[in-house]
């Protein structure tokens, strides 16, 4: 590193960058915060202010029976500025934390500008000096100039510009009495869970898939990319039998009765613990409600818990498991961190969480202290584990209970089980903060 005690460059004053700046500042670390607005705006940003909320004004539920509620509780314990401002500027939305977006962003800008040791520089950054401690928090719409620089920093094809992902379900919610595991032609490992459908089930499913409601594309989203990874509903609309000769092909598969099913939906592991399973070939642009309705017509998935719905949208993110440690720092450049959506977390609060953890861990690293990486009984720990160890087909991840270690006890009641996950997460983040961050501010 060039300087010590160092100034930290943070690139991007979005949700993650602002929270990282606050965490560093309160630990006495000087920050230079670079933001390209208002000179240059991404296609979704329209305001000059920091921490702009680009779409829905909801930061999701605060209910402790949800993973996003548990994540917020963990962030409160870790002293999250952004959530404090969100609550101060909230609008009525039941159990969801929804904000007055203009007020929220204005208050965030005010708070960040007030921090004594944070210098703000208004310009686009297109070069990263890996010798200077840096947090890259430029979000899903990182500018083209910086994208090229990041691509060469990663040194391979590890920077993605589009997210076309299939829904992911929780293992315990798959009805295994209506599914079977086996390799095709009886060969290979039983790496897939096969969900068979008979003729009537298949054609009813295709009918609903074709007519289900889709998410409209944004102007800046390139339709050519959609052609490159065809959504399952588009495939269905090309012919009633297209899917059963495509991703639902039953060839080489036999069920427990030794019969070949009419069609088979396959599920593949999404994490090494086998808690999460993705639906193979089901990239989709259906609305979330329609995904739940139509995909629940697959008999083995009739009660499936969807921890993540499929999305098809512009999204700049890196192949994090290849390049990042669990504390969000680069394996090749220990003082360069990635925070927010670009690091492979998905969502407003998840981006805030990663900014908070980058801020804490950059400060600790500069002092020669070990990183703070909570275990996977906590949601933040689960996200950190995901971005550094997910399986080959890395997809950005939101907060959900499937990324956590299973509970020690078996709880049949779904609501009680979720509350137990949340309680354990909150207890353990409190404990681990006490043990590891005691000497910090």
Query: Which residues are near ligand FAD by CB under 6 A?
Result: 11-17, 34-37, 42, 44-45, 54-56, 124-125, 137-143, 146, 218, 314, 340-342, 347-348, 351
Given the complex with ligand FAD, which of 295 and 338 has the nearer CB atom? 338
Question: In whole angstroms, how close is the CB of 104 to ligand FAD at the nearest point?
Answer: 12
Contact between residue 327 and residue 361 where contact means Cβ atoms under 8 Å apart = yes
CB contact burial 189-219 (16+ within 10 A = b; e otherwise):
eeebbbbbbeeebbbebbebbeebeeeeeee
Question: In whole angstroms, how close is the CB of 276 to ligand FAD at the nearest point?
Answer: 19
Q: Which residue is nearest to ligand FAD (CB)?
A: 14
318: region left, alpha or beta (phi > 0 left; psi from -120 to 50 alpha): beta
Given the complex with ligand FAD, which of 143 and 194 has the nearer CB atom? 143
Task: Tally the C-alpha atoms within 13 A of residue 112's C-alpha that lie toward its C-beta.
Answer: 30
Q: Collapsing DSSP states into helix, strand and coil, what is residue 439? A: coil
d(CA 147, CA 142): 6
CB contact burial 51-65 (16+ within 10 A = b; e otherwise):
bbbbeebbbbbbbbb
Given the complex with ligand FAD, which of 247 and 310 has the nearer CB atom? 310
Contact between residue 387 and residue 339 where contact means Cβ atoms under 8 Å apart = no
At residue 271, φ and ψ (nearest 5 deg) are -140, 160
Pick the closest to residue 104 from 175, 35, 49 (CA basis).
49
Given the complex with ligand FAD, which of 15 and 171 has the nearer CB atom? 15
Question: In whole angstroms, how close is the CB of 139 to ligand FAD at the nearest point?
Answer: 2
Question: In whole angstroms, how close is the CB of 397 to ligand FAD at the nearest point?
Answer: 12
Given the complex with ligand FAD, which of 140 and 231 has the nearer CB atom? 140
Given the complex with ligand FAD, which of 145 and 434 has the nearer CB atom? 145
Question: In whole angstroms, how close is the CB of 259 to ligand FAD at the nearest point?
Answer: 44
Q: Collapsing DSSP states into helix, strand and coil, what is residue 350? A: helix
Question: In whole angstroms, how close is the CB of 115 to ligand FAD at the nearest point?
Answer: 17
């Amino acid at each position: 590193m060039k300087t010590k005690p160092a100034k930290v460059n943070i690139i991007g004053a979005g949700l993650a960058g602002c929270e990282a700046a606050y965490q560093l500042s309160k630990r006495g670390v000087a920050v230079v915060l670079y933001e390209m607005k208002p000179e240059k705006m991404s296609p979704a940003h329209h305001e000059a202010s920091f921490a702009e909320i680009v779409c829905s004004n909801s930061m999701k539920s605060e209910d402790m029976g949800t993973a996003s509620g548990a994540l917020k509780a963990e962030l409160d314990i870790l002293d999250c500025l952004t959530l404090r401002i969100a609550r101060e500027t909230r609008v009525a939305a039941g159990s969801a934390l929804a904000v007055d977006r203009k007020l929220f962003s204005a208050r965030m800008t005010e708070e960040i500008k007030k921090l004594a040791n944070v210098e703000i520089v208004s310009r686009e950054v297109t070069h990263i000096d890996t010798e200077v401690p840096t947090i890259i928090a430029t979000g899903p719409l990182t500018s083209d100039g910086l994208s090229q620089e990041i691509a060469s920093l990663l040194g391979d094809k590890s920077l993605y510009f589009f997210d076309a992902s299939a829904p992911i379900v929780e293992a315990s919610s798959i009805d295994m009495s209506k599914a079977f595991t086996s390799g095709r032609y009886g060969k290979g490992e039983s790496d897939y869970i096969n969900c068979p459908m008979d003729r009537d089930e298949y054609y009813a499913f295709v009918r609903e898939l074709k007519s289900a409601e889709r998410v409209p594309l944004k102007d800046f989203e390139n339709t050519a990319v959609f052609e490159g990874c065809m959504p399952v509903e588009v495939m269905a609309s090309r012919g009633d039998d297209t899917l059963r000769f495509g991703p639902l092909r039953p060839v080489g598969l036999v069920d427990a009765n030794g019969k070949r099913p009419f069609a088979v939906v396959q599920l593949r592991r999404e994490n090494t613990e086998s808690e999460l399973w993705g639906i193979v070939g089901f990239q989709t642009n259906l609305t979330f409600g329609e995904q739940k309705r139509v995909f629940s017509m697959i008999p083995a998935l009739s009660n499936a818990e969807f921890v993540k719905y499929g999305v098809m949208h512009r999204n700049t993110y890196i192949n994090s498991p290849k390049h990042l440690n669990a504390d969000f720092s680069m394996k090749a450049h220990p003082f360069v961190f990635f925070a927010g959506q670009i690091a492979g977390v998905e969502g407003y609060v998840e981006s805030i969480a990663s900014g908070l953890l980058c801020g804490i861990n950059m400060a600790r690293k500069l002092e020669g202290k070990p990183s703070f990486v909570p275990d996977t009984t906590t949601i933040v720990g689960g996200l950190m584990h995901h971005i550094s160890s997910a399986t080959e087909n890395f997809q950005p991840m939101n907060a959900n209970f499937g990324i956590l270690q299973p509970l020690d006890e078996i709880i049949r009641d779904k609501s009680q089980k979720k509350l137990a996950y949340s309680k354990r997460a909150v207890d353990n983040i409190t404990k681990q903060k006490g043990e590891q961050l005691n000497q910090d501010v």
